[in-house]
A = this chain, B = another copy of it.
Amino acid sequence: MKTHTLLMPLDMHLHLRDGVMLENIAPLSAYSFSGAIIMPNLVPPVTTLDDVKKYKKRIMATVPNDYFEPYMTLFYKNYDKAFLESVVDNITAIKLYPDGATTNSDGGVSSFDIEEMRETLEAMSELDIPLCVHGETAGFVMDREAEFMSIYELLAKNFPNLKIIMEHITTKAAVDMLDKYDNLYATITVHHLLLTLDDVVGGMMMPHHFCKPIAKRPEDLDALLSVALEAHPKVMFGSDSAPHPKNKKESCGCAAGVFTAPIALQLLCEIFEQYDKLDNLQAFVSDNAQSIYGICPEFKEVVLEKRPFEVPASYSDVVPLYAGKEIGWAIQSVE
């Protein structure tokens, strides 16, 4: 049987939520990943050292028997340097949300006034704290990410020593930005390597394919595949796996988010094998992230095997991408 081994897989963009949801889903990521960048958009968001420490403790309590590192983040506000110095050892990045751009992003940045942000972003540059950005304007849904490129340019030019991660990129416009500025990086989800808007509203309306940023055009998918499959050194895997209870997804006015954490590595094997690029997957799911973030995850070896695997209908009350469908790879062992 064909197998493929991944070492220290990392999920550089993960939503673990809190409470019962956290307990239900954190073990799924902890099983197959060495670590993950943990999004801070709880309600209320993670904004203090105390928040960070307590949230990390709650996460670790759910995964007592796994080697799993939750790389903690703060929710972006204009923080002063003294505060950042006090938290730098407890966080790996700061996540910036435009106000209202997605789930639990209220209180995010409402205007990108560089001078107002300067103290924070210069301190982050000095302390080498990466800025992770949900890059969408409040414009027309298909244009939001492309319109945000000018803000990435503004940030990249004004803060050349700040590592800026364009999170969950979905467009050719974002791919084209990667090589324009040394300090711009990107994460890409697995669902954005599989879906276009056709899969959301092209046939029936598919709530489990609905996320923000929304899946875009075929040429955008092609651009994402091109840098992911080559494991472009500035690109990392970040699932943006975003669980919502089944009843919140399958009702009128469904919430945005695709849940992929427990099947992400399997799907990535399938995609990379399909394009004969399995050799590049290790860089995409771990090595690039280690270099960009300067992190050294605990050892974990995940062996995947090529065999039919039926995606569960749900994990607790969360419906994953491709629920009930057969995919081509499964996890054989984790050590």
A contact set with B: CB distance below 8 Å: 140-142, 196-198, 200-202, 204-208, 210, 214, 217-218, 249-256
Contact = CB atoms under 8 A, between A and B. Distances in A.
Given A250-B251, A251-B250, A202 B256 contact: no
B142 A255 contact: no
A202 B140 CA distance: 7
A253 to B, nearest CB: 4
Given A141-B202, A205-B254, 18 more contacts: A140-B202, A141-B197, A141-B201, A142-B142, A200-B201, A201-B201, A201-B214, A204-B253, A204-B254, A204-B255, A204-B256, A205-B210, A205-B253, A205-B256, A206-B253, A249-B252, A250-B251, A250-B252
A142 B205 contact: no
A195 to B, nearest CB: 12
A142 B256 contact: no
Contacts of A254: 204-205
Copies assembled: 2
Given A201-B201, A255-B204, A256-B204, A218 B250 contact: no
A206 B252 contact: yes
A214 to B, nearest CB: 6
Contacts of A140: 196-198, 202, 217-218
A207 B249 CA distance: 12
Nearest to A206: B253
A205 B205 contact: yes
A328 B140 CA distance: 26
A220 to B, nearest CB: 10
15 contacts: A140-B197, A140-B218, A141-B198, A141-B201, A141-B202, A142-B197, A201-B201, A201-B214, A204-B255, A205-B210, A205-B256, A206-B253, A207-B252, A249-B252, A250-B252
A117 to B, nearest CB: 26
A256 B201 CA distance: 9
- Which 5 A-B pairs rank lowest in CB-CB distance, beginning with the nearest? A141-B202, A204-B253, A205-B254, A250-B252, A205-B210
A98 to B, nearest CB: 14
A205 B202 contact: no
A141 B205 CA distance: 12
Contacts of A256: 204-205
A208 B252 CA distance: 8
A200 B250 CA distance: 15
A205 B207 contact: yes
A249 B204 CA distance: 10
A206 B197 CA distance: 15
Contacts of A142: 142, 197, 217
Contacts of A251: 250
A190 to B, nearest CB: 20
A251 B249 CA distance: 9
A258 to B, nearest CB: 12
Contacts of A201: 141, 200-201, 210, 214
A204 B207 CA distance: 10
A205 B253 CA distance: 5
A193 to B, nearest CB: 17
Contacts of A252: 206-208, 249-250
